Amino acid sequence: MLDVAGYNVAYLKKFSGLALEGDVASNDLGPDNMQKKHVTNFKWTGAKATVGIGMGKGMYEWINLSFAKGSEYRAGAFTSADFDYKAQSRIEFKQALITGVTCPKLDASSKDAAYFDVEFEPEIVNWVKAGGEVIKGPIGQKQKSWMCANFRVDIPGLPCARITSVDSFTWKCAIAPDQVGVGNQPTKHAAKVTVPDIKFSISYADHQPWADAAYKWFIDGIREEGNELTGMITFLGPDLKKELGTVTLEHLGFKKFSDDDVEANSEKIKRFNVEMYCEGIKFDMKYTDL
């Protein structure tokens, strides 16, 4: 069970990381063919949580604020249990920063449930022996609503109804550790945010209007700040009407325009690909389990 800022992450599929790792220095000794080794500094490795759309208020707000501000510190804990759901161990972390959020590939032909991968690095980690309490908590029922096949893309001025897939993309924030002499655990600070490119696969039926827009962008040079676009990816429920959440893509511009490879006697549907750069992302989940 994972808690963030006092809120249970209602649908956690997988958790890994928060291991102790040392930096080892080697001393070569002249009189003998050997090395002496010792640990200089140590660190806690980053953690990775695979969560559904029913991620709970704590995780949702952490991601949302990280996208908006570039960084946001949070505390939390991960508790593991035995077969009877009795807590066996607990890892508490403090001053953690999100280093990456990965959105899954959205594909109209997919049969998979959708999950976010959230990576983070804490400054302080404590191992605590659990007291055997039962940690069986609520399951995020709303997770059942989110599938990789249920989505909609909107970009004003361009036909988007035949977008068949959106490649997985990852928002990243690099962390700079600050090692101080009087302590053996560094403080950590956000250093650089990287906003991903977005790649769409689109039915060839809509090729012409996209090709015209790409031609104006690349050939005619109509690609100033005011020509950039704002797009939105909407996660939909099973009825393809209920909106579960959105990812807003700010300042989109063409980066690459290409056709799929062509092969004789192929049974593949003809598609073309559009890759766009993006300068900012906003995150809005309307259907989380709180």
Between 184 and 210, residue with greater pLDDT? 210
17, 132, 142, 152: CA torsion to nearest 10: 0
pLDDT tens-digit series, residues 36-70: 888 887 888 899 999 988 788 899 999 999 988 87
User: Would you list the DSSP string of 137-192?
Assistant: ----GGGGG-BTT-EEEE-TTS--TTEEEE--EEEEEEEEEE--TT-SS-EEEEEE
pLDDT above 80 for 287: no
Q: For position 134, what pLDDT does the model report?
A: 83
Q: Are 97 and 190 in contact (CB under 8 A)?
A: yes
Q: Picking from 99-108, 161-170, 181-190, 272-281, which range would have the lowest pLDDT averaged per residue?
A: 181-190
Summary mean pLDDT of the chain = 88
Over residues 125-130, mean pLDDT: 87
**Facing residues of 96 across strands?**
74
H helix runs in the chain, sequence order: 57-69, 207-218
Q: Where are the domains of the chain?
A: 2-23+39-285
Q: What is the pLDDT of residue 138?
A: 59
Quote the CA–CA distance of 23 and 179 in Å, as a whole number.
13
**Is pLDDT larger for residue 115 or for residue 131?**
115
Q: Is the pLDDT of residue 288 over 60?
A: no
The β-bridge relationship of strands 187-194 and 169-178 is antiparallel
* pLDDT tens-digit series, residues 129-187: 888 888 876 555 566 678 999 999 999 999 999 999 999 999 999 998 887 766 667 78
Do residues 150 and 185 lie in contact, with contact meaning Cβ atoms separated by under 8 Å?
Answer: no
Contact between 106 and 151 under an 8 Å Cβ cutoff? The reply is yes
Between these two residues, 140 and 265, which has the higher pLDDT value?
265
- Average pLDDT in the 30-40 region? 79
Between CA 50 and CA 120 the distance in angstroms is 12
Q: How far apart are CA 203 and CA 30, in angstroms?
A: 68
**Residue closest to 151 by CA, chosen among 98, 110, 204, 100:** 110
Lowest-pLDDT range, 74-78, 187-191, 227-231?
187-191
Overall average pLDDT of the 92-120 stretch:
93
Tell me the CA end-to-end span of the chain in Å, nearest whole number: 15
